Amino acid sequence: MSAEEDPTLAPAPPEPEQRVLRFAYVAGVTPGKWIRRWEERMPDVPLRSFMSDGGTQLSVLSDGAADLSFVRLPVDREGLNVIPLYEEQPVVVAPKGHEISVFEEVALEDLAEETFLDADELGGPETAMQVVASGAGLLILPMSVARHFNVKDTVARRLTGAPGTQIALAWPSDATDEVIEEFIGIVRGRTAQSSRQPSAKVEKPKKEPKPDRRGTGGAKKPKVAQRYAPNPDKGRGKGSRKKGKR
């Protein structure tokens, strides 16, 4: 018997693939709080994250490796939606024992005679910090990046007078859906009850009415206050009742 004659012999349709949301982030971004909120609100959609370096912060979107990417501005915004999130504090990284070690904060103008290194030319911030440790020069980085790599034999101090960097969330402008919108809302601090969150628009099942625990018997009759005529003899001794006239 063929599948046309007996539908039960036809192969079952393939099950749809489970949606997985993937995002990348550059060094210095700490996505832990967003991951925790996602797992609380969207437990049915797995979240995958991985770190990208400055050179791949956008390519992970174009090659499909990630749905969203936390990037460090500036970036080419063509074909992307980009939401700036926060500005980073710059620091100057110097070899251990450098004179800036005695200060908590350093002004850029006071370092005019110093040699500065370029992290991109040296292959990234971690490699550049290792070069700094050798005494070849100083390096300006976001504080979060310097703390992330924490290379031995280097010190970092707050730097004033230098432009700060900014972290933003980027994703392809033609790839927005409710799952991505949910993640964007979490990153922007929207609560689970926000009307702008897709998950808040899902109609929740109505609760069943609570059973009547008063029993199935007939309704109780309302209590009626009963009045009694006062006992004229109450509280009087024998023979105390006055005799009326006959």
**In the structure, what pLDDT confidence band is assigned to residue 85 with cuts at 50, 70 and 90?**
very high
Whether residue 11 is predicted with pLDDT greater than 80 in this model: the reply is no
pLDDT at residue 225, as a whole number: 55
**In the structure, what pLDDT confidence band is assigned to residue 175 with cuts at 50, 70 and 90?**
confident
Question: Can you give the pTM of this predicted structure?
Answer: 0.71
Cα 65–chain centre separation: 21
Mean pLDDT of the 170-182 span: 93
| 112-141 pLDDT per residue, tens | 999 999 999 999 999 999 999 999 999 999
Q: Which residues of 8-21 are buried (b: 16+ CB within 10 A; e: fewer)?
A: eeeeeeeeeeeeeb
Enclosing H/E stretch for 140: strand 139-142
**Tokens of residue 47, six digits:** 């979240």
| 148-172 pLDDT per residue, tens | 999 999 999 999 999 989 999 999 9
Q: What is the mean pLDDT of the chain?
A: 84
Cα–Cα distance measured from residue 48 to residue 65, given in angstroms and rounded to the nearest whole number = 10
| 187-232 pLDDT per residue, tens | 999 877 665 565 665 555 555 666 666 655 555 555 555 555 556 5
pLDDT at residue 119, as a whole number: 94
The β-bridge partners of 93 are: 139, 156
What is the amino acid identity at position 208? E
